[in-house]
Amino acid sequence: MSVWPAWEVQERESTTSWFTVRLDLPNGALVDVLAVAAGGCVAIEEVRAEPPLSLDDLAALADRIEEPLLEACGFRSGPSRESAGESEPPARPDMPRGIEEWRLVAEEYRAAQERGADPVLAVMCATGYSRRRSLKLIGSARDAGLLAPRHVRR
């Protein structure tokens, strides 16, 4: 497995970095991953695999690249989960559903805007969801009136 920086964006005190991960699996499969790191959180932006991965393989991929990716991003310097006796990866935070989830998303979105950070990435980190799912939640929060409309109607 290879991990190397792709590009980096610095804005005020925050830095957002993208990394490329390449895996050559023993069965001849090739997997390329684009991951983004910001605010102590790493999220997978894109996965390309030849041959395509099943959902089970995709979940196993996340477990396999987690430690090397966090180390490359500088977020982990302590003992690994295996040496600490932890066998399962940390679970997605327990998020309420419906209007309560939208309220939490709206609070995180506004807090990130005030800090000058990327609000979508902040929602991704808070919820553990992908960028697409986070954008859907942000849209739902807007529709519920918890966030200002994206465009002012004339």
Any idea which residue has 């001849």 for tokens? Answer: 28
Alpha-carbon torsion (84, 85, 86, 87), positive or negative: positive
d(CA 78, CA 151): 45
* C-beta neighbour count of 23 within 10 angstroms: 17
Q: Quote the pLDDT of residue 77.
A: 44
Buried b (16+ CB within 10 A) or exposed e, 102-137: bebbbebbbebeeeebbbebbbbbbbebebeebeeb
d(CA 106, CA 120): 10
Could you state, in chain order, the average pLDDT of each consecutive group of 10 residues for the chain (154 residues)?
77 78 80 80 82 79 73 57 41 69 90 87 83 89 88 66
